[in-house]
A and B are shown apart, each in its own frame.
With several copies, the nearest count.
Chain A
């Protein structure tokens, strides 16, 4: 019946089921007591506020959590970020982040991004892109900072 009957509403291009699901039941929400990295991000013009914390053990993210408040896109994106990066090694984490940003900012491919692909629709809403990348920018900034200070 997909795309066929007009009694079944076509899925919303921005507010996909899976996005709303992450928004109403966020994964990894809370504090991470044993974090090795922690970063805050705000979007002063919207009032979105977000904290992201993770723990690196043996070159892998062995725990990750977020807290804060904001719109559905920024919160779902943070929830998906945690789910996608938990357990990944640092190189893979950085690669996923780069591909996610590219999907939104350059309309790049989304292969292998899993659930994150559900946020592709945000690319058509320029003012909301900064909501979707808020957590990711914070992560990448922290990774870049760490990379610089470590040899």
Chain B
């Protein structure tokens, strides 16, 4: 049975929801191909933040007055809405600043506090610094071993190496769902099976997957999952750690302060229930409200449709890059193995020069190490140029990128 293809996105209508897309950059219309770094925000999200401050702003969980109650309701409804977005129980959903903080929370309260010297943590060669440095800090301080699953030349993980490493004394695998450089979507089903069979927990860096494809923590069967609001049409300053109840209940607090306590004396304290135990101090209620609005916005359009749209764009992007010539594409070319974020190098032109020339005609791409220095070393390049798409990206913008790259070749005589 063939799945009926979804109707293509009405991108023109979607674009009208994003006021920044009307901007001109250096006299040209903005072509925003940097959504993997942060996405733009639709009016409904911007307005949700403003409306919260204009009508219901108060501190939460602490008061008997009506505004405090409205703010608390908005906050906890937001928690439920975001949990629903990843098919999770809200009791396991902890709000953090971003993916980075979510991963640091697991590294500090689980790896550093609950693992034993000699235990091993496994990551991969394609990890973002945010899914590497926290484990380095925890490993150094708690005497843990840190190992990385090797990458194959096609930009996918070496599953033999995974099998070798996902054995005792491995206690935790922390792996990205989708690479922010290569676009590779990792085979989490196999990795999770191997890790769990070895008695290790699985932490998923979902910063690049939750915004772009349907993600269910129940189906993934992972133990921890981290992502950022700002990469999914939501506000900056809000991220999520979801965790299964067993590790979450057992873990000691991450930060101490208001809201996370049950009873406090000058010398000792006891802790509130999860998820509150991990949310110290005044939370960013406005951003939670904004993130819930982003979930509504995305779900109204449909993640499956968004994912199909991005696949079509990625196909066009790969075609354009191949047609131009003298371009090294990093990461898999098979569209079933990747998402809509493509890194490449133009001849031996430095990525910054590529980025600057593109910016002169309004095209925003990322150029640099993308917070993946070990991956750059593995690829043997100092930096790459990365173009990344989202629901508001049009085929014309991909073509504009092609023209810009032709100009790069002209200027640098590649």
A residues contacting B by CB (< 8 A) are 12, 14-15, 20, 42, 44-49, 69-73, 125-128, 131
Contact = CB atoms under 8 A, between A and B. Distances in A.
Contact of A45 (B62, B73, B350, B357): B62
A128 B356 contact: yes
B261 A128 contact: no
Contacts of B119: none
A118 to B, nearest CB: 15
B64 interface: yes
Nearest to B259: A45
Contacts of B196: none
Given A44-B263, A127-B356, 10 more contacts: A44-B262, A44-B272, A46-B383, A47-B368, A47-B382, A49-B382, A70-B350, A70-B382, A127-B63, A127-B68
Contacts of A12: 411
22 contacts: A14-B356, A20-B413, A42-B263, A44-B261, A44-B263, A44-B272, A45-B61, A45-B368, A46-B368, A47-B368, A47-B382, A49-B382, A69-B382, A70-B350, A71-B350, A71-B352, A72-B349, A72-B350, A72-B412, A126-B69, A127-B64, A127-B68
Contacts of B349: 72
A127 to B, nearest CB: 5
Contacts, number: 55
A47 B64 contact: no
A127 B69 contact: yes
Interface in B366-403: 368-369, 373, 376, 382-383
B353 interface: yes
Interface of B: 61-64, 68-69, 73, 261-263, 272, 349-353, 356-357, 368-369, 373, 376, 382-383, 411-413
Contacts of B383: 46-47
Contact of A47 (B68, B376, B412): B376
Nearest to A12: B411
Contact of A20 (B272, B373, B412): B412
Contacts of B61: 45
Contacts of B272: 44
B412 A128 contact: no
Contacts of A20: 411-413
B64 A128 contact: yes
A14 B408 CA distance: 13
Contact of A72 (B62, B68, B261, B353): B353
A9 to B, nearest CB: 9
Contacts of B263: 42, 44
A69 B369 CA distance: 14
A69 B383 CA distance: 11
A71 B411 contact: no
A87 B373 CA distance: 38
A125 B368 contact: no
B117 to A, nearest CB: 32
A12 B361 CA distance: 13
A14 B353 CA distance: 10
A127 B357 CA distance: 13
Contacts of A72: 349-350, 353, 412
Contacts of A14: 356
Task: Give the 6 A-B residue pairs with the shortest CB-CB distance, closest first.
Answer: A71-B350, A71-B352, A44-B262, A127-B64, A47-B382, A127-B69
Contacts of B411: 12, 15, 20
A128 B356 CA distance: 8
Contacts of A70: 350, 352, 382
Contacts of A44: 261-263, 272
A39 B412 CA distance: 29
A69 B349 CA distance: 12
A47 B353 contact: no
A59 B69 CA distance: 41
